[in-house]
Structure 1
């Protein structure tokens, strides 16, 4: 008997690539940057959108793991499956913003699955990396630094010294992973990439934000770092922010030299670094005591918001076209076990 047409939206959603997790990352970090800039109403709107998308992707992730486990693991070991690490990164971005709003218990609940998934996915994808890879190769660093940001944020909120030290280990580990990924990155992606090439800068941006959060986590109650530690963290945070801004400029030039206006799901991986750079700049302004960085961060924030809107319009148009293009049939499944 022929397979009947599936519900169009359900079928379209089931076909979404793991790269769609970048939409959650992008929306979540724009919410964080708006919060740092004091735009609370807009920040809450973006946070609600990010949470809704996260719940949908989480449900799809669990269903695939339960129903198609025999396919999921081999697919996770392919180089393209590096994008599965967006599950960890997106969860930590949301967790950090939730903690910033005072919901530490919920943030801790988000940290737990992210921490469990991180080593498993990292081992699966790292051993499959190849030379000349796209920007998704930097997601190893992004996921690790996302955990560092969330751990440092919770450490400050809960006065948990051990969690701050875990965050510090993750911070340095993320920098090592970035260096390894850089040797695998195909620099031609700067002018040829479909959007995820911006993660090369976004990984540095989230590293700078992690450094800023580690600096802010220190307090009279915790006594986390001595003067030497603080000096190293401050220098690293500033250096990472400068490097991030340099990447920002290089990637902008690449877009100008070879414009790529057509919508692609991977364009959400462009929005994420733009928002993360704004958040890192605003966070570093307070952490390292450089007031003029706040003005720069606000400018970068509105750039990120504008690009988010453009990509969101493209995503809606793409989804509408896919859903209304005609009947969608679910893939044929084996009935051997029935």
Structure 2
């Protein structure tokens, strides 16, 4: 008996690479940034879109694991696979901001299970001169630190904050290691994921600010020296992130890359993360001027998200129009 062919949409979706999770990361962090800036409705809308994308990619992740084990193992060893962890933690942080703590805890547990497996697979296959996706090792690790610190503050639970602090420092170590593997020519030649070089510092800064705000007289997580070091490192990370922002923007101006590429979602994510980190650090380090900068950066991220989303829709329409399955449906309709 002949097996029915997959629908055009299903066939197109099945071709999504692991790095497609960057779209969920980007949409989720834009939701977080909009929430921090006070735009609740827009934040809710973007979170719904992020959740829909996460559910679709999660279903594809499980189907490949069950039906295409060899392909799953191959793709799990690519840096883009770590977007599964990062996207999960970002959505978890968005839920935590809405006091949906049970969902956030479930996502933290899921991300914690996935993280060591994917991290070992990816890092063991690093090579010289890698694209910006090499920094996803840091992003995924710091994502766990962000979500752990956020839940520690929301639930006044010290045991979540301390592992989050360890992950925060470990993520910085991974960033330095990834920096030696990064191909610096990507600043001018990259297709979009080179922006993660700055985004990794942004999420590290966000993790630092969340660790600072998690402390309280009730928990007494860090002494005065610890808090001072953490505050200094957080501010330094934010400054370095903004420096990367300027360098990467200059690279885009010198050599514009205007065509759509899936990796452009990895450009939106650092933009949104920088906005979120700036707004979060404003309160954590008592620097009110950062709030004004954060509001500007939020709208930059939203504008770029809209442009990339328009490119994604156009790309999808072209792919569906040229799909053999869709052509077969059209041919039968003309008979």
Given the superposition, is the C-alpha separation of residues 324 and 3 from structure 1 closer, same or farther in structure 2, using an over 3 Å criterion?
Answer: farther
Q: How far apart in 1 are the matches of 2:251 and 2:301?
A: 17
Which residue of 252, 256, 263 maps to 2:253? 256
Residue aligning to 2:215? 218
The alignment status of 1:28 with 2:28, answered yes or no, reads yes
Work out whether residues 212 and 231 of structure 2, in 8 Å CA contact, stay in contact via their aligned partners in 1.
yes
Q: Which residue in the other structure is 1:336 paired with?
A: none
Verify: 1:62 aligned to 2:62, yes or no.
yes
Q: Post-superposition shift, 1:5?
A: 4.2
Cα shift at 1:3: 6.8
Contact map agreement 1:31 1:97 (CA 8 A) in 2: yes
Q: Is the 8 A contact 2:279 2:295 kept in 1?
A: yes
Distance 1:154 1:275 in 2: 21
Query: Is contact 1:5-1:327 (8 Å) kept?
Result: no
Change (3 A) 1:318 1:74: closer
Whole-angstrom CA distance in 1 between matches of 2:155 and 2:4: 53
TM-score (norm 1): 0.95
Cα distance, 1:70 vs structure 2: 3.0
Match of 2:305 among 305, 308, 311: 308
Matched with 2:112 is 115
| Residue 76 of structure 1, CA deviation | 2.5
Tell me which residue corresponds to 2:8. Answer: 8
Q: Post-superposition shift, 1:74? A: 3.4
CA distance in 1, matches of 2:178, 2:53: 28
- Partners of 1:13 and 1:111 lie apart in 2 by 26
Return the alpha-carbon distance in structure 2 between the equivalents of residues 55 and 326 of structure 1.
24
SS of residue in 2 equivalent to 1:6 = coil
Give the secondary-structure state (helix, strand or coil) at the position aligned to 2:304: helix
Q: Could you tell me whether the CA contact under 8 Å between 2:18 and 2:75 is conserved in 1? A: no
Q: Distance in 1 between matches of 2:6 and 2:114?
A: 31
Deviation at 1:102, TM superposition (A): 0.3
In structure 1, list runs of 5 or more residues that go unmatched. Answer: 330-338
Encode CA deviations 1:23-74: one digit per residue, 9 max, x unaligned: 0000000000000000000000000000000000000001101111233223
User: In structure 2, what is the Cα distance between the partners aligned to 1:191 and 1:18?
Assistant: 24
Q: TM-score normalized by structure 2?
A: 0.95
CA contact (8 A) 2:75 2:81 kept: no
SS state at 2:153 partner: helix
Q: Shift in Å at residue 4 of structure 1?
A: 5.6
Name stretches of at least 5 consecutive residues in structure 2 with no aligned partner. Answer: 327-335
Work out whether 1:290 is the aligned partner of 2:287: yes
The 8 Å contact of residues 8 and 324 in structure 1, kept in 2 or not, is answered as no
Which one of 237, 244, 251 corresponds to residue 241 of structure 2?
A: 244
What's 1:322 paired with?
319
Determine the C-alpha separation between the residues in 2 that align with 1:155 and 1:326. Answer: 48
Q: Quick one: which of 96, 101, 105 aligns to 2:98?
A: 101
Report deviation, 1:153. 0.3
Alignment of 1:129-208 (within 5 A): 129-208=126-205
Q: Deviations over 1:135-184 (max 9, x none)?
A: 00000000000000000000111111111000000000000000000000
Q: Which residue matches 1:278? A: 275
| Equivalent residues of 1:282, 1:298 under 8 A apart | yes
Deviation, structure 1 residue 245: 0.1
Q: Please say if residues 6 and 327 of structure 1, whose CA atoms lie closer than 8 Å, have aligned partners that are also in contact.
A: no
1:19 aligns with 2:19: yes
Task: Decide whether the 8 Å contact of 2:203 with 2:277 is kept in 1.
Answer: yes
Deviations 1:264-309 (A, max 9, x none): 0000000000000000000000000000000000001100000000
CA RMSD of aligned residues (A): 1.2
